[in-house]
């Protein structure tokens, strides 16, 4: 009887422990979210001649990427017919894609009743792209687009195509597609150029079976690069040529954690200390960087100027981390450990005075302040987990800024119009979310479901966001990535086995 009573008592506890362990495992090892790719096109996409989307699917399966490919091919369709079909069938509403691969134009070059004048083709393509841009998925993302040129026609193999069709594909249709990509800042997949170099893979108007396979491989690489920024390792890590400014970040690539700088010339080390230096924040005049360092034995706030001179601003009674320099240059906000919990403080640079901003029994950390100095956003733990808190600095009134999203590690855009932050809502790993600062209206920017995306910061022109992406939560091999806000095109700009993270984007000259 005693044994049975013991079992009766322990059994529910063991079940609860198992369930708790399962939830803990799920939190640490969440299943990757699925990224949906929709391939829109005509018979060059999929038909009885072949199906590049099937080969594309095979490649993603081989790479074990959490990506699903759906064909939305309409053999024989012109751009106008396809536009009408996608309207009538609610294509985007049915599929909710994260990425669209759009390739139309071959049938617009026909010589029968489907002949489409180039200005009308361009108008139709704009209308298709406008519908894609206006669509919002349930996870708040707007589909990104890869716009593809169409293959050459080496020999008209169908009676509805002739030498005029050949000429139009070369001189009108593809130049119009390239112009569309430039005008709308879209990623261009040059399918035409791909087949020009492999013309034996074309059989008249359509690719050969081997051509469809090769096209699937080509567009797999284009989509994978677009979604993750993972290109062949560059010889030199640097900011892309079309982007200005300097990114400061924390890295342990030389052994311990220091501050590094990246611009279009490459990467250089800014601080050199056996201690840990990290979490950089530019001054509004870009002549100094605030950072946290434990070089005194505990984390305290320091600054470094362009000459390399380092100054500790004040002594901490506990530990001070996560500095943020306000746009007016008056304050550096930071979080301090008080009775074992983080609270937000600020240092008045002119008065040399530390002031408490938050207090109480709850944790409030990682502050960022609006450019007008009125609103503090901070990562706060109140009752049931972490949220992004909005605190009015005039009266201390506090509210949850990201209801239903959790949220942490926010940054204001330089204009103050937008806020970027991290949320685990969709893939349980961490995505970069964008919202207007005035009203919470979130848009998911990153959808790479097998990685953790953290620490967003806006470019100096507010057109891009730099962030850190890694396979593990908080540490491990994080690399820096950039996402273009308008198109969601992504670049990976570091390629190092170390941890590169906590970036901030400003200006910085050479000493």
Q: Are 319 and 297 a contacting pair, CB within 8 Å?
A: no
Number of domains in the chain: 2
In a domain, 27, yes or no: no
- Rounded to an integer, what distance in angstroms lies between the CA atom of residue 421 and that of residue 178? 34
pLDDT recorded at residue 426: 84
Calpha distance 127→136 (Å, rounded): 16
Burial of 389 from C-beta contacts in 10 A (0-12 / 13-18 / 19+): buried
Same-domain check for residues 346 and 487: yes
Claim to verify: residue 353 and residue 434 sit in the same structural domain: yes
Instruction: Name the least confident of 76-90, 149-163, 224-238, 240-254.
Output: 224-238
Is residue 149 within 8 Å of residue 193, measured between CB atoms? Answer: yes
The CATH number covering residue 197 comes to 3.40.50.1110
What pLDDT shows up at residue 314? 97
* Residue 4 covered by a domain: no
Q: Is residue 268 part of a domain?
A: yes
199 and 255 share one domain: no
279 and 218 inside one domain:
no
Whether residue 503 contacts residue 466, with contact meaning beta carbons closer than 8 Å, is answered with yes
Long-range contacts from 469-474, C-beta under 8 angstroms, 24+ separation: 470/499, 470/501, 473/28, 473/429, 473/430
Q: Which of 153-162, 224-233, 466-475 has the lowest mean pLDDT?
A: 224-233
* DSSP β-bridge partners for residue 99: 37, 144
Q: For residue 20, tell me if it sits in a domain.
A: no
My answer on whether 349 and 494 are in the same domain is yes
What is the CATH number for 432? 2.120.10.30
223 and 255 assigned to the same domain: no
pLDDT at 232: 41
pLDDT value of residue 449 = 64
CA distances from 404 to 96, 121, 233, 368, 428 (A): 21, 43, 38, 21, 13
In a domain, 3, yes or no: no
- Rounded to whole angstroms, how far apart are CA atoms 210 and 216? 10
* 11 part of a folded domain: no
Nearest to 258 by CA among 269, 245, 246: 269
Structure tokens at 164: 């005029």
Same domain, 158 and 260: no
Segments forming the whole domain that contains residue 394:
246-506
Boundary of a domain, candidates 200, 228, 256: 228
Over residues 4-15, the mean pLDDT reads 44
Mean pLDDT for all residues in the chain: 89
Per cent of the chain over pLDDT 90 is 74
402 with 284, same domain: the answer is yes
Q: What is the pLDDT of residues 234-275, one digit of tens each?
A: 557 999 988 999 999 999 999 899 999 999 999 999 999 899
Same domain, 217 and 125: yes
For residues 184 and 100, membership in a common domain is answered with yes
> In terms of domains, do 424 and 468 share one?
yes
Domain-terminating residue out of 196, 228, 260: 228
Are 223 and 299 in a shared domain? no
pLDDT value, residue 229? 61
Final residue before a domain boundary, out of 228, 263, 281? 228
Residue 202 has what pLDDT?
Answer: 94
Establish if 240 belongs to a structural domain: no
Domain assignment present for residue 26? The answer is: no
């Amino acid at each position: 009887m005693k044994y049975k009573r013991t079992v009766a008592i322990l059994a529910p506890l063991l079940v609860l422990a198992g369930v708790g362990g399962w939830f803990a495992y799920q939190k640490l090892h969440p299943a990757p979210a699925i990224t949906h790719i929709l391939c829109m096109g005509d018979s060059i996409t999929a038909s009885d001649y072949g199906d590049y989307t099937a080969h594309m699917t095979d490649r993603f399966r081989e790479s074990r990427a959490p990506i699903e490919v759906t064909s939305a091919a309409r053999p024989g369709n012109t751009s106008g017919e396809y536009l009408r079909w996608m309207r009538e069938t609610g294509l985007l509403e049915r599929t909710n894609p994260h990425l669209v691969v759009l390739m139309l134009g071959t049938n617009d070059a026909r010589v029968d009743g489907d002949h489409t004048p180039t200005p009308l083709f361009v108008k139709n393509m704009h209308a298709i792209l406008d519908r894609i841009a206006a669509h919002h998925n349930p996870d708040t993302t707007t589909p990104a687009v890869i716009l593809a040129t169409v293959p050459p026609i080496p020999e008209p193999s169908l009676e509805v195509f002739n030498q005029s069709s050949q000429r139009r594909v070369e001189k009108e249709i593809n130049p119009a597609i390239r112009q569309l990509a430039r005008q709308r800042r879209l990623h261009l997949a040059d399918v035409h150029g791909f087949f020009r170099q492999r013309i034996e893979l074309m059989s008249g108007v359509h690719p050969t079976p081997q051509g469809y396979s090769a096209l699937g491989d080509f567009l797999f690489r284009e989509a994978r690069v677009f979604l993750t920024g993972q290109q062949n390792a560059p010889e030199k890590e640097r900011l892309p040529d079309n982007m200005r400014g300097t990114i400061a970040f924390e890295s342990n690539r030389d052994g311990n954690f220091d501050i590094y700088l990246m611009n279009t010339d490459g990467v250089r080390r800014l601080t050199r200390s056996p201690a840990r230096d990290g979490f950089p924040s530019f001054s509004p005049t870009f002549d100094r960087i605030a950072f946290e360092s434990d070089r005194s034995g505990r984390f305290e706030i320091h600054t470094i100027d362009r000459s390399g001179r380092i100054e500790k601003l004040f002594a901490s009674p506990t530990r001070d981390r996560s500095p943020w320099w306000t746009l007016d240059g008056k304050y550096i906000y930071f979080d301090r450990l008080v009775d074992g919990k983080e609270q937000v403080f600020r240092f008045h640079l002119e008065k040399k005075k530390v002031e408490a901003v938050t207090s109480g029994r709850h944790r409030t950390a990682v502050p960022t302040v609006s450019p007008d100095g009125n609103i503090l956003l901070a990562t706060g733990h109140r009752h049931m987990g972490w949220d992004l808190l909005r605190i009015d600095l005039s009266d201390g009134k506090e509210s949850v800024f990201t209801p239903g999203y959790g949220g942490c590690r926010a940054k204001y855009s330089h204009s103050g119009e937008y806020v970027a932050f991290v949320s685990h809502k969709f893939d349980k790993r961490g995505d970069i979310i964008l919202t207007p600062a005035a009203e919470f209206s979130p848009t998911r920017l990153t959808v790479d479901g097998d990685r953790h995306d953290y620490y967003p910061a806006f470019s100096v022109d507010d057109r891009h966001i730099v962030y850190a992406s890694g396979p593990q939560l908080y540490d491990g091999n994080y690399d820096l990535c950039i996402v273009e806000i308008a198109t969601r095109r992504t670049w990976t700009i570091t390629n190092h086995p170390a941890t590169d993270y906590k970036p901030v984007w400003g200006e910085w000259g050479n000493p």
